[in-house]
Each structure stands twice: as structure tokens, then as C-alpha cells.
Amino acid sequence: MPLVEVTELVRRFEDVLAVDHVSFSIEPGEVFALLGPNGAGKTTTIRMLVTLLRPTSGTVRIAGIDAIRSPDRVRRVLGYVPQTLSADGSLTGYEHLLMVAKLLRIPRRDRERAIAEVLELARLEEAADRLVRSYSGGMVRRLEIAQAILHRPVLLVLDEPTVGLDPTARRTVWEALQELRRREGTTLLVTTHYMEEAELHCERIGIMNRGRLVALGTPDELKASIGGASSLDVVFTALTSDTLESGGSFSEVRQLRRRLRRFG
Amino acid sequence: MKSDSSVGGSGVSVDLATRLAEAVHPLSLGERVASFVAASLVVAEVEARRLRHDPWEVVTRAIQPLLWLTIFGQAVARARLFPGQGDYLSFLAPGILAQSVMFTSIFYGLAIIWERDAGILQKILVLPVPRASFVAGKGLGAGLRALIQGAVIILVAIAMGIPLEVAPLSLLTCAVAIVLGASVFATLSMLLATLLKTRERFMGIGQVLTMPLFFASNAIYPLDIMPSWLRILAHLNPLSYLVELLRQALVAGNTLGAPRDWLVLLAWLAVLQVIVSRRYDRVML
């Protein structure tokens, strides 16, 4: 049984079709990437998967649970790291984790061990007692990952986990994710702009453009589908170039993004 | 990482099955109530920890109400505008205390908008925790801030020689009333945040709202000097009931306060919490 099943997912914001009949599934243990230019509908898709946004139509099943009808149950098997780097700078890293552990009602006797485990995985042991406002971008992102996996979710969803980070920080984030997979077998769903990261770390990639899923497959399959393209970059450009090239579409994209921003 | 995918295989699926079984199992009513109470307290604890790392913010916020007490209060006391009320400064002190509770809490919704913009809210909302506990917990957190500020104001009022009833029971009543009142205004503020959605709009409306809430109440003058239409507004205004509880406890010696005042505040809180809990995730859309 696939862990994630998305069927004919649609989200409309007034007259804008942000997500247009998207279907895909993710197997347990897989690393799955959604790739696409800005405004392609990746974040909107993800927000529907993690129960933050109701679809206009279509279904999302995670671990067999209907995410639209039983969001509270889906939340118990799901971890989510949103795109914006965010953490409350006025608390320490340890306090962040302690608060989430308490919210999740992890029993007191297991709490310290659970926190120590995720701190170690995120390589934040030494920074744990510092206020988060002194953290670097990579550290904040790793703290967010640590927070999102405290309840040992079977699926971790990350929206642009490495955007805006320097190459070293990007590497440390992926190292933490790899370590998580090795230990827990957690299924990962990421969106990214970085083609080489998708190629290096992800087993299957879905390419989105203008709200639609325009290609889906392993990196090799995708390259083969464009007549043996040498890199994912070529595939990506071939599939999404109309967004910027076709007549008048630049202003369309701008308009779409402006609308999306208005909706938060 | 690709090469690892087959290694994970069988051991993982057993674990997966048990974890999924836990998730599919629905929670009983008792479990949900326990989860709500526990989570509310944790949300308030976050607030407490923030305060511990930066206590000065709250203390500096006590300055404005103290200016009301020292400057406005001294001048009006001299004018003897309300002869029926006895000592004006002891009439005013509970009013200013209530006003400070309202002023700190009414901008609480800004924190929600900020958390939304920063992405903190999204992370919290996907946790398997009842939504209502975020609203209740934020209210308690606002109460905590208001308490610290209230303590500063009472201490200064006593130092100014204003005669106040400071028996332990009176102070306890005040503390409970302050937390309740702060929850009401913080929840009202969160309701505004879910309606207005941006900081700019919120600031504008927030400023506008504090005026009628403050002046259409019994905080700085008795209700019976008001024209009747204003008196009706003051009777709808939750601030009036908070003022009344504080004034009864600190001045009139009616330590426990009138049941009517408690009930009105509790009703406001219950209604607002239900509405805001339902609207909470719409801040996102």
C-alpha cells in the first residue's frame, strides 16, 4: 500500500487554479521531490497534504487515512517543516523541543531521551542551551527538523528545506535527513529548487508547472523521457519553459503570485 | 541516500504498522480533555519562558498606566469632579489596573499574525494537538503578562499612599480576575487577527478599538455620569466588569466580587474561545 495517495487534487483561489488535478503516490521509505518554478503549486499541494489547507476537490490519503476527513489522525503520523525559516528566537533550542515534547504529551520519563535523540540527529547538542536567535540558518532548519520528528512521524514533509542556506548548511541539513532515514526509515516528501539536490537525494521526482504535474519518475526516467537529456536541468527547462516564454505569461505569473500572496 | 532505500525495508514496515495502529486508534473524550488541558498549559508555559528570558518588556509596559495614575489621577483628584466616589485615586487605581490588562492583551492577536508570517503557527497547527488549546493557552499566557504588570501597578499605587485593600484574599481575587480579563481581551484580539489577517490592518483597528473600550467603561469615571446610550455600551463592555471586580476587591472590601461580574466575563471568554478556535486555522488561508 502506498504511504501517500493523492488523487485528482484541485485547489482554486477565486479564479486562479493553483493546483490542477494532481495525482501521485509515494511508497513507504521513499524520498520524493516536487520540483517546479515559483508559483507552480508545490507549496499549495504540500499544504493540502499536511492538513493546513482544504482542497477544492480530490482526495489525500496518508497511511490509508483520509487527510481531509480525519486531519487530527493524519497529524499523528506526519511531520512538517514549512518553507520560512522560523523559530522563536527568545527560547533556547532545548526549550523548543521540550515545549513540543510536552504538547505531544510524550511521557516525562521518555521526554529527555527523545529530545537527546533528535538533538543528536540534528547535531545540535552543543547549541541546545543557547537562545535560538544566535543560531545560523542551517542550525534553525535542523532544529525545525528535530521538532518535526519528535513524535516519530512516518512521513516528514519539507517545503524547500535548503532554500536560502549556504552550501555547507545545505549539506548538514541533508546529512540530518539521511541519518533520519537510516534510523527510522522515515518517508520524505520535499520540494526544492535545487536540481542537483533532487538528483542526488531523491528517488522519484514530480515536476510541477502551472498547477499541473507534468512529469513523474526517477531522475533517469525523466532524463530518458526528454530524449536522453544530460541533466535534470535540461528536463526541467524543457518542461517548464513555457511559464516564462509564452506570450504574456510573465505578467500572468506575477498576477498569480500576487493573488497567492494575498491568501497568505 | 538512494542506495539506502532497500536496506530500510522489512524492519521498518513492522515499526510502521505499530505506529500507524496508534494513529488510527481514535481518542476517547477523556483523552481529548486531558490533551486540551495539558496543551493549554504548555502554550502558556512558552509565554512564561519568553518572559523569563526577557522580563523587562513587561515592566516597561507598566509605565503608561502608571502615568495615568500619577499625572491624570493627581489632576482629576484635585478637581473633585465626582464627589460621590470618595477618594478619587483609590477609585481610579483599579480602573487603571484593568486598563493595563486590556491594553497589553488587546494587541495579542499581533503575535498570532507574526507567528503566521514567521511560519511558527503552521508548524504548531500540524501537531496532533487540539486547536482550542492554542487559543486557551494564549489567553492564559496573556494573563501571566498582565499579572506581572498588575503587580508593578499595585506596588506603585501603594507606594503613592493610595489606600487599597491588600489582604491576601483580595489580592488573590484580583489575580484571578486579571487572568480572566486578560484572556477575554487576548481572545477578542485573536478574533480580530483571524478577521484582519495583516499586521498593518490590525494595528489600525487595534488602536481604534482601545479608545471606546477604555472610555465607554467605568475605568476612570462612574457610570452614572454617562448619557444613557453610553451607559448601555459600558454595560456591554467586558472591561466594566473587570473594573468592577478589581474595585470591589481592592477598595470596597467585597473580597470575592459579585457573581454577575464573574459570569459576564466567563460568558465572554467562552463565546470568544469557541469562535476563535473554529476560525483559528483560517488565519492561514
Q: Is the pLDDT of residue A199 over 80?
A: yes
Span A187-201, mean pLDDT? Answer: 90
Q: What is the pLDDT of residue B276?
A: 92
Q: Tell me: the pLDDT tens digits for A104-139?
A: 889 999 999 999 999 999 999 999 999 999 999 999
pTM of the model: 0.84
Query: Chain A closest CA to B269's CA: distance in Å?
Result: 23
Instruction: Lay out the sheet containing A212-217: strands in order across.
Output: A78-81, A155-159, A187-192, A31-35, A204-209, A212-217
Residue B84 near chain A (CB below 8 Å)? no
Residue B18 lies in a domain: no
Residue B11 lies in a domain: no
Evaluate whether B21 touches B14 at the Cβ level (below 8 Å). no
Residue B46 near chain A (CB below 8 Å)? yes
Domain containing residue B194: 29-284
Write the DSSP symbol of residue A131. B
- Please, which residues 117-136 of chain B have a Cβ atom closer than 8 Å to chain A? 117-120, 122-129
Residue A87 near chain B (CB below 8 Å)? yes
Residue B56 lies in a domain: yes
Instruction: Specify whether domain A4-83+91-262 bears CATH 3.40.605.10.
Output: no
Residue B17 lies in a domain: no
Question: What are the DSSP E strand ranges found in B28-90?
Answer: none
Cβ–Cβ of B128/A201 closer than 8 Å?
Answer: no
Strand partners, A156: A79, A188
CA A172 to chain centre: 17
In chain A, where the domains are located? 4-83+91-262
Q: How many CB pairs under 8 A join A and B?
A: 133
Residue B85 lies in a domain: yes
Q: Tell me: the pLDDT tens digits for A207-248?
A: 999 999 999 999 989 888 877 767 788 888 888 876 554 444
Tens of each residue's pLDDT in chain B, 285 residues: 444 443 344 444 556 677 677 666 777 888 888 889 999 999 999 989 988 888 888 888 889 899 999 999 988 888 877 776 678 999 999 999 999 999 999 988 888 888 888 888 888 889 988 888 999 999 999 999 999 999 999 999 999 999 998 899 999 999 999 999 999 999 999 999 988 888 899 988 888 889 999 999 999 999 888 999 999 999 999 999 999 999 999 998 888 889 999 999 999 999 999 999 888 766 554
Residue B230 amino acid letter: L
Number of domains in chain B: 1
Instruction: Choose from B3, B4, B16 for mutation: most chain A CBs within 10 A.
Output: B16
Q: What is the pLDDT of residue A248?
A: 41
Residue B214 lies in a domain: yes
Q: What is the pLDDT of residue B28?
A: 83
Residue B22 near chain A (CB below 8 Å)? yes
Query: Chain B closest CA to A243's CA: distance in Å?
Result: 25
Residue B200 lies in a domain: yes
Task: Give the integer Cα–Cα distance in Å for B130 and B223.
Answer: 41
Q: What is the pLDDT of residue B91?
A: 92
Q: In b/e form, how buried is each residue of A30-62, taking b as 16+ CB within 10 angstroms?
A: bbbbbbbbebbbbbbbbbbbbbbbebeebebbb
Query: Taking CB atoms and an 8 Å cutoff, what residues of chain A touch B53?
Result: 90-91, 131
Cβ–Cβ of A90/B24 closer than 8 Å?
Answer: no
Residue of B nearest to A55 (CA): B285
